Amino acid sequence: MSFEDAAFHMEGEGRESSLNSETADTAESRRLYERLPLNSQLHIVWAEKKGVQRQVRARAVDVSKYGVQVESEKSIPTGTVVFVYTAQFTPISRASVRHCAPKGMNYRIGLYMPDRFVDDL
């Protein structure tokens, strides 16, 4: 699937109110761009303290216009700048880790990547 072929729609026009009259501000209602499901293998590379280079295989779970959510066996600290590659080590983009949370035995990692090099994951 090509990123340019995918339609990215603005969301959040009509926010719903909860039963107790407070605004229901869920993650889905706050998203600016639609998330498209994905199942692609990736490699994520980053440098830790003292220049130690780390690498982990990850599975792309979904993608939006400026980011991708991946699942990995290792956690990556929030704020870390990483380099994302396809399974064949074709560069995709540089990204920053927005969040990293446990998901079962793995971690769900949100990557912000405004300057992707390729359109397909």
What's the pLDDT score for residue 121?
Answer: 55
pLDDT of residue 115: 76
Per-residue pLDDT of the chain (121 residues; tens, 9 = 90+): 433 333 333 333 333 333 443 444 555 555 556 667 678 999 999 999 888 999 999 999 998 888 899 999 999 999 999 999 999 999 989 999 999 999 999 999 999 988 765 555 5
Question: What pLDDT, on a 0 to 100 scale, did the predictor assign at position 38?
Answer: 78
Q: How far apart are CA 78 and CA 73, in angstroms?
A: 16
Domains of the chain, first to last? 35-112 (2.40.10.220)
Taking CA atoms, 95 is separated from 6, 63, 79, 85, 89, in Å, by 21, 13, 10, 11, 15
pTM equals 0.69
Q: Is 108:98 a contact under the CB 8 Å cutoff?
A: no
Q: What angle do CA 36, 7, 12 make, to 5 degrees?
A: 80
Amino acid (one-letter) located at 52: V
